[in-house]
Amino acid sequence: MADNPDRKLIYTSYVERQNLTMRLSMRRFNGLTNAFSKRVENLAHAVSLHFMNYNFGRIHKTLRVTPAIEAGVLDQSVEPRENRGSGR
């Protein structure tokens, strides 16, 4: 981290909740599954796609918008077709 945060305000519950959300949302992180990545690069891409959808595409119940809209990064939710590369 670049800043010097106040140690009294650091909570691990936020990180633990994010880890739980990722484990429950992606089959790759479930215990007994065959949907695993053989290459670390594929795993990194899968995690990136998960967070892209979580932050830019998925409307959260408590916010009623995506986190990116709430943070002022976007005007509207990203549609799935916009997430694709220029390959098609």
Sole residue written with tokens 């305000």: 9
Q: 30-88 pLDDT, tens per residue?
A: 666 666 777 888 888 888 988 888 888 888 999 999 999 999 998 887 776 655 554 44
Query: Rounded to whole angstroms, how far apart are CA atoms 54 and 18?
Result: 10
Asked whether 65 and 73 are in contact (CB, 8 A), the reply is no
- Sequence spans of domains, the chain: 11-83
pTM over 0.75: no
Q: Which two tokens stand for residue 42?
A: 């594929």
Contacts of 26 (CB under 8 A, 6+ apart): 46, 47, 50
